[in-house]
Amino acid sequence: MSRAWIGLGSNLEQPRRQLEQAFEALAGLAESELLARSSLYRSAPMGPADQPDYLNAVALLQTRLEPLALLDQLQAIENDQGRRRERRWGPRTLDLDLLLYDDLVMDHPRLRLPHPGMAERDFVLLPLLEIAGDLEIPGQGKASRLLAKCQSRTAEKIA
């Protein structure tokens, strides 16, 4: 069994409902068990500012799915929830990012691990730290230290 950390984000079509529904879908994934989920966090958009605030959260799965098989499942959940995305860094109904998979470091055309950019994003690190205070990101150090270095800090817990 492996441990996989998933980042959830939404800023369209009732973000809270999108995230709750995504947690349910993650809990129902084959060959996997949802071990933990963070609270929901509201954050200002990173990227173009002319879009709604985001809700973000993190989930921890225990899984027998290999990384790319898990990625397929995450993309299927995004599509099921009617994901639409018109422009790069624009608003989205549901984003599920595979953040970490055990201590794996990989660079595949479809999947880079750890997720690039996660170490600079407070809306990823804060929920991650809530459910794994001691977490170390392969090659980058402790999540708590990375959060302290984040340039922009807008994420706040809402539930």
Binding site for ligand ROI (CB under 6 A): 9, 43-47, 54, 56, 89, 95, 123
Cβ atoms within 10 A of the Cβ of 59, count? 23
Task: Answer yes or no: are the C-beta atoms of 49 and 91 closer than 8 Å.
Answer: no
What's the min distance (Å) between Cβ of 131 and ligand ROI? 17
Show which residues are catalytic: 83, 92, 95, 97
Say if residues 27 and 34 touch (Cβ distance below 8 Å).
yes
How many of the other CB atoms lie within 10 Å of CB of 36?
Answer: 13
Q: Which residue's structure tokens are 């980058």?
A: 140
Minimum distance between the CB of residue 95 and ligand ROI, rounded to whole angstroms?
Answer: 6
**Is the Cβ of residue 20 or residue 31 nearer to ligand ROI in the bound state?**
20
DSSP annotation of 49 reads S
Q: Work out how close the CB of 62 gets to ligand ROI at its nearest, in angstroms, rounded to a whole number.
A: 24
- The closest of 96, 79, 86 to 34, measured between CA atoms, is 96
Is 62 or 156 the residue whose CB approaches ligand ROI more closely?
A: 156
The residue at minimum Cβ distance from ligand ROI is 9
Between 38 and 56, CB nearer to ligand ROI: 56
